[in-house]
Copies of this chain bind each other. A is one copy, B any other.
């Protein structure tokens, strides 16, 4: 059976959806290493829609799954169809769409909640001892989901100090890194990359970190 990775997206665009450049970098690296992948998202209305030119709310309604389909060229399924048994690993790119929709960290901080379907998926991969790759703000989601499962979970917030403090509040161990580096927690099988948590990172540095994350997982799954 071909090795396969599930990629979890949340809309399309860094201010209200999945960060597009990180998401494509993830799919590109998977394609480079010959890993089959399937994309998933949540079939629900987005928390908000942001005009990415003006960087202000646009008062539209859009659907997370429908918009994420733009990144995936239509090849995407509802998260209800994501069975961890079918995949060797899970990768979650970043973006405010993750922090506003997959969990509520963007407006509730460490008191936020994770969407039930998302939490279940993360816990399932963890319990099956399968790798989870988390990019940008997604390591925060993974830290929250595994708060009661993992001990001393090492994750990276890039160099974002406030995010590092929030990770500590959830019992995780933040590792400050540049965007072309990755954080490896081999015990918990969580690999993370800062990507645009360092907002001045070049796209090539972001891709380099994500490629390292994908390569690490692809070589071990």
Contacts and interface: CB of A to CB of B under 8 A. Distances in A.
A52 to B, nearest CB: 4
Interface string A1-23: 00000000000111101001100
Which range contains the number of A residues in contact with the other chain? 20 to 34
A25 B14 CA distance: 17
Given A20-B20, A53-B66, A73 B28 contact: no
Contacts of A176: none
A87 interface: no
Contact of A25 (B28, B67, B69, B74): B28
Contacts of A69: 51-53
A91 interface: no
B31 A24 contact: no
A32 interface: yes
Query: Max chain B CB contacts within 10 Å: which of A17, A66, A73?
Result: A73
Nearest to A30: B203
- What is the oligomeric copy number? 2
A200 to B, nearest CB: 12
Contacts of A70: 12-14, 17, 20, 52
A66 B76 CA distance: 24
A21 B27 contact: yes
Interface in A51-79: 51-55, 58, 60, 65-67, 69-71, 73-74, 76
Nearest to A27: B203
Query: Max chain B CB contacts within 10 Å: which of A28, A70, A74, A207?
Result: A70
Interface of A: 12-15, 17, 20-21, 24-25, 27-28, 31-32, 51-55, 58, 60, 65-67, 69-71, 73-74, 76, 196, 202-204, 207
26 contacts: A12-B12, A12-B20, A12-B70, A14-B70, A14-B73, A20-B20, A20-B70, A21-B71, A24-B25, A24-B28, A27-B203, A28-B203, A28-B207, A31-B202, A31-B203, A51-B69, A52-B66, A52-B69, A52-B70, A53-B65, A53-B69, A53-B74, A53-B76, A55-B74, A58-B66, A73-B196
